[in-house]
Chains A and B, each alone.
Chain A
Amino acid sequence: MPDRIVILGGGTGGTIAANRLRRSLPEGRADIVVVDRDDAHIYQPGLLFVPFGMAAPSRLVRSRARQLLRGVELVRHAVDAVDLGAGTVALDDGSTLGYDVLVVATGATLLPDETEGLTGPAWRRTVHTFYDMEGAAALAGALARFDAGHLVVAVMDMPIKCPVAPLEFSFLADWWLQRRQVRDRVRLTFVTPLDGAFTKAVCNRELAGLLADKGVEVVTEFNTGTVDGEGGRLVSYDGREVAFDLAVVVPLHGGASCVARSPGLGDPLGFVPTDPATLQSKAHPNVFVIGDAADLAASKAGSVAHFEGEIVAHNIARFLAGEPLDARFDGHANCFIESGFGKALLIDFNDEVEPVPGRFPGPVGLPLLRESRLDHVGKLAFEQIYWHVLLPGRSIPGVPSRMPLAGKRLAAAAQTAGS
């Protein structure tokens, strides 16, 4: 009898895990079942470009089923909850699915309602987000009409998907407003709960410099308690205020609601406590986690889900064979940061090594942590790589799951650590 591997979520991580497992496990070893509520797979990194008219929403969506290799079954239902003890998943139609191994790949959920006032009367009028398709499309309309006033980009709180995306939005807004020749009539402010643009020192210095060059003001350690849409202001828990004419917010994130409904599976925010090295859940040995659903310190990014894919597939094969889990994830993340005017920066880092300058993946590769045309082209190329290399569960030639050290100028990090 083949074992049954059930994967909850057919987004980036679930698709990668399913296809990697299909490819690596011998024929007949396991049935692989992916559960997702719909058949619309969105290329989320493309949402950044929608408000600026640089990407058409319809072009970012493809069939989930078609991203899965033959032999992987897609069950189109919403997951209600998991029963860890019984080893079953309850679906919204009342049926249950048994599993030998479960992979949680239900991602992160936006929680705009958890911030007071955020979804009030001004929501989608002067208060927007580009973190989902509907929001990104609505923001495109609002931006097209915006030609003077205070544009505020605000992160409600961490963790969020792709932590650099709001910075990229600020850079692109500066470029876009200049192109429309209204930049001098617009004040642009970036509001963050963190104590800098980015938490890692070397990268923070570089990005803070870019923000300053582009005339973007930065408000740090601002934890938004209330969004007063009609009054046009953000109010922090410690009583500070930022006035706005147009606010672009990144709402609070939590885990999927089905995780919260599953006793023993999630933490208070609905993320799944996960061993950072083996990617096995802490709740139960036959439950593994990939992507944004995990409670890891690693970034919530598609590149991270990609690197995790190899580890998860390997460790599940070991688990099924009754052998100790020996693949270890290092927190590797890799992000292109679009900076406007046809340029971007690339950062590559893991749990131990912060983003530093140099080249990637080796000494003759793409520039790291420095604006360049090459990295912008890399960012655009990522879309094709996503559909044709990442999702099918292949490795990018020359880019290992384990973060490469060759090409990195590690002394840059040592210097700030010492200062």
Chain B
Amino acid sequence: MPMTTLAGTDVDVDAEGFLTDASQWNEDVAAEIARAEGIEELTDRHWLVVQVMRREFAEKGTGPAVRALGKISGVGIAELYHLFPKGPAKMAAKIAGIPKPRGCI
């Protein structure tokens, strides 16, 4: 597992840059990942989604896919794409410091 330093914190990441240990995450790490993904500043709406991602991961062992994320967070799918243009489920998971959501197949 490669290790890297984000916002002064040592974190383990996978080949795509997802944290492999969600407990190494903190808000500064989130902000730095967000900037690397092109989100200059995380708004309250971003944080709401990030918090839902972490809670779902803690409960279920995986982050939700975009549709479930929309229903659970109450943030509509169109707005989710506006907040996380490169794909809400993937991008929000990365910023939330949890693994890439499993495809359900």
Q: Given the known A-B contacts A158-B65, A237-B77, A269-B67, are A199 and B103 also in contact in the complex, defined by CB atoms under 8 Å?
A: yes
Q: Provide the residues of chain A in CB contact with B80, threshold 8 Å.
A: 237
* Distance (whole angstroms) from the CB of A160 to the closest CB of chain B: 9
26 A-B pairs within 8 Å (CB atoms) are namely A157-B65, A157-B66, A158-B65, A158-B103, A158-B105, A194-B103, A194-B105, A198-B105, A199-B102, A199-B103, A200-B105, A221-B87, A223-B77, A223-B87, A225-B78, A237-B78, A237-B80, A237-B81, A267-B68, A268-B71, A268-B72, A269-B67, A269-B68, A269-B71, A297-B104, A299-B105
Determine if B38 is an interface residue (Cβ-Cβ < 8 Å): no
CA distance A198 to B104 in the complex (A): 10
Give Cα A198–Cα B68 distance, bound, in whole angstroms. 21
Give complex CA distance A195, B105 in Å: 12
Contact string against A for B residues 54-73, beta-carbon threshold 8 Å, 1 for contact and 0 otherwise: 00000000100111100110
Q: Which residues of B contact A199 (CB under 8 A)?
A: 102-103, 105
A11 to B68, CA, bound (A): 26
Residues from chain A with a CB closer than 8 A to the CB of B78 are 225, 237
Q: Report the nearest B residue to A237, measured CB to CB.
A: B81
Q: Provide the bound-state CA to CA distance between A237 and B82, in Å.
A: 9
In whole angstroms, what is the CA distance A101 to B62 when docked?
29
Given the complex of chains A and B, what is the CA–CA distance between A14 and B105 in angstroms?
A: 22
Chain A contacts with B in 152-187, Cβ cutoff 8 A: 157-159, 163
The interface centre, meaning the residue of A158, A195, A221, A237 with most chain B CB atoms within 10 A of its CB, is A237
Compute the total of residue contacts between A and B using a CB distance below 8 Å. 46
Q: Which residues of B contact A252 (CB under 8 A)?
A: 67
Encode B4-32 as 1/0 by CB contact (under 8 A) with A. 00000000000000000000000000000
| Interface bracket on B | 10 to 19
Residues of B contacting A297 in the complex (Cβ-Cβ under 8 angstroms): 62, 102, 104
Q: Is A213 an interface residue (CB 8 A)?
A: no
* Cα(A244)–Cα(B72), bound, Å: 33
CA distance A159 to B72 in the complex (A): 16
Chain B contacts of A159 at CB under 8 A?
104
Residues 78-93 of chain B, each 1 if its beta carbon lies under 8 Å from chain A, else 0: 1011000111000000
In the docked arrangement, what's the CA distance between A252 and B68, Å? 12
The answer, yes or no, to whether A238 is at the interface (CB within 8 Å) is yes
- Cα distance A221–B103 in the bound complex, in angstroms: 12
| Complex Cα gap A163–B103 (Å) | 11
Q: Tell whether, in the assembled complex, residue A238 and residue B81 are in contact, meaning their CB atoms are under 8 Å apart.
A: yes
Interchain nearest-CB distance for B46 vs A (Å): 17
Query: Bound complex: CA of A223 vs CA of B78, how far in Å?
Result: 11
Considering the chains assembled together, what is the distance between the CA atoms of A199 and B103 in angstroms?
6
Give Cα distance in the complex from A157 to B105, angstroms: 11
Residues of chain A lying within 8 A (CB to CB) of residue B86: 238
Given contacts A194-B103, A268-B72, 7 further A-B contacts (CB under 8 A): A157-B65, A158-B65, A158-B103, A198-B105, A225-B81, A237-B81, A297-B104
Give Cα distance in the complex from A269 to B66, angstroms: 11
For B105, the chain A residues whose CB sits under 8 A away are 158, 163, 194, 198-200, 299
